[in-house]
Amino acid sequence: MQAPYAPTPLRLGPYELLKKLATGGMAEIYEARREGPHGFSKRIALKRILPQLAADPEFVAMFIDEARLCAQLTHPNLVQVFDFGEEGCELYIAMELVEGTTAAKVARAAASRGDPVPVEVALHVALSVGRGLAHAHEALDEDGRPLGLVHRDVSPGNILVSRSGAVKLGDFGIARASEFERRTEQGQLKGKLGYMSPEQVTGRELDPKSDQFTAAIVLAELLTARPLFSGPREMDVLVKIRDADLSVLERHGRHLPTDLMVVLRRALARRREDRFSTTGAYVDALEEVVRRRRLLANPATLVEWLNHSGLLRPTGRSGEHSIEALPGGRVQQLREAEPPVSPSRSSGAQRIWKPESKLESVPPDGRETLSTRAASASGSNATAEIAIHSSGKWLYGSNRGDHNIVVFSIGDADGKMTLIDHTDTGGSTPRHFSIDPTGKFLLAANQMSNNLVVFRIGSDGKLTQAGNPTAVSGAMPTFVGALFLP
C-alpha cells in the first residue's frame, strides 16, 4: 500500500526550510534557517524522518537514538547536533551545516579520471575521520560510563568536506551503542554494501575495530581511485569482504609508500585481533607516515587540490560549492605524441596541482636537506623549487647555479635522501615546476628561456624530456598553469 502524500512543510518548529539537500533511506536533509531578534540568522542542516516511515516505531526509535547519541558527541571531525524537536507528528534534528562536498563525490570524480587522490590529501581525510571515530569510540555518558559506540556506516557519502578543508563524519543513524543495543536483532545486517567489515557481513558482534576496517576501505579507495570490494552480484561483494580480499589494493597500490601499505594491510586484516588495538592507534600509525615523509596532510592542501583539480567550484552565494567530475587527460604539450583529441571533448580542463612542499632545517639526527645534498652532489649552493612525488618515493629540486633538476630517492624506513639523477634543463633555471596528479609528468617553467618543458617520470623516478620546449612569447612563465586535456 502506498504511503499517503505528505507535502514538505515550510517550517518545522523555529526553523524555516529553504531547500532539500539530500534524501536517504531513513530521512531527508534540508538547508534551514533560524532567525532571532535584532537581525540574528543562522543557517543549519535539518534532518527530518521520511513521511512514509514516520509511523514505523522502529525507525522512529532509531531516529530518537541518533539524536540522543549525537548530542553527547562534540569533536571538530564530527558533525555537531544543535537541537532535537517535534512539531506535530514530525521529528527533526538540527545539525551543523557543512558547505562543500563529500568524500563520495571526490572519489567518484577521481575514479572517472583514473587519477588517484594524492597521498597527502587522502591522508588528511583519513586522519580527520579517524580522529572523529576515536573520539566517538572513547566517549562516555553523563555518568562516566563508556557509550560503547560503533558507527557501522563509515562510508564516503557520510564524510563531509567543507570549503575550508575541514573533514567531518556524520550520520550516526544506524550506530550501535550499549544503551541502544536492543534496536538491532542478532544477525541483522546494517550498513552500505562495499563498506562493511568481515564480522559485519557475517552478522557477528561488532566493536570499534569494525569502524577501523571501513575507515581504511575509504582511504584505500581514495588512494587507488577504485572500489576495494566490488563484483557483479551483491553476494560476490559480501564474500570479498568476508575474506578481506585485498587484491585490488595490492594490484593498484604499488605506487604507494611501503609504510602506508603496511598500515592499510593491518587495518584491513580479516581477523579483528590482527588490526590496530584501537582507532587511536590506527590514527597514530597514519600520523607517523605523515611525519616520516614530511607530507603536508592539512586542510590547505586539501582545498588547494580540490580547487586546482576543478572539483570544488563556487556556484553563486558565498560558501556554496559543487562537484565536477572531469575526464582524465594529458598535458597539452604532449598532444603531438598522442592520438588526436576530439574538439567536442576539449572542454572541462583542470589545472595541475602543485602543493607548496617545503623541507625543514636539518633535524638532530643529521638528515640532510635538499639544498645541502644538491650542493654537494651538483655544485650548486641553492635551490629554486622543490616538489615531492605523490608516491613519496622521490623528491625533485631545481639548482639555480647549474640549470638542472636533481632527483633524490626518499628512504622508506628513515626518510633519508639519496641523489639518483640530475637532468639538464637546456641552459636555464627552472623557476617553477609541478608534478601532475597521476605522477607521470613534471612540467617546468624556465626562468630565462621563456619556455615550458615537460618531462616524463620513469618507474625509477628519473626524468626524460618529452618533446621540445614550448616557447612563451613576451614574458617568463612565473607560475605553472598547465591544462590537462581529455
Residues acting as catalytic residues: 153
Compute, in degrees rounded to 10, the torsion defined by CA atoms 227, 232, 236, 241.
10
CB 444 within 8 A of CB 430: yes
pTM of the model: 0.64
- State the CATH architecture for 11-95: 2-Layer Sandwich (3.30)
**What is the predicted pLDDT for the residue at 364?**
34
Q: What is the pLDDT of residue 182?
A: 43
Q: Which residues of the chain have pLDDT under 50?
A: 1-5, 180-187, 315-384, 400-401, 447, 474-486
Residue 250: CB atoms within 10 A of its CB come to 11
- CATH of segment(s) 100-301: 1.10.510.10
- Residue spans of the domains in the chain: they are 11-95, 100-301, 330-485
Superfamily of domain 330-485: YVTN repeat-like/Quinoprotein amine dehydrogenase (2.130.10.10)
Domain 11-95 shares a fold with domain 100-301: no
pLDDT digits (tens, 9 = 90+) for 415-447: 677 888 877 765 555 556 778 767 888 877 764
The angle formed by the CA atoms of residues 236, 239 and 245, to the nearest 5 degrees, is: 105
CA angle 154, 159, 160 (to 5 degrees): 165
pLDDT at position 423 is 77
pLDDT digits (tens, 9 = 90+) for 344-366: 333 333 333 444 333 333 333 33
SS3 content of the chain, % helix, strand, coil (to 5): 30, 25, 45
Please report the pLDDT score of residue 227 as a whole number: 94
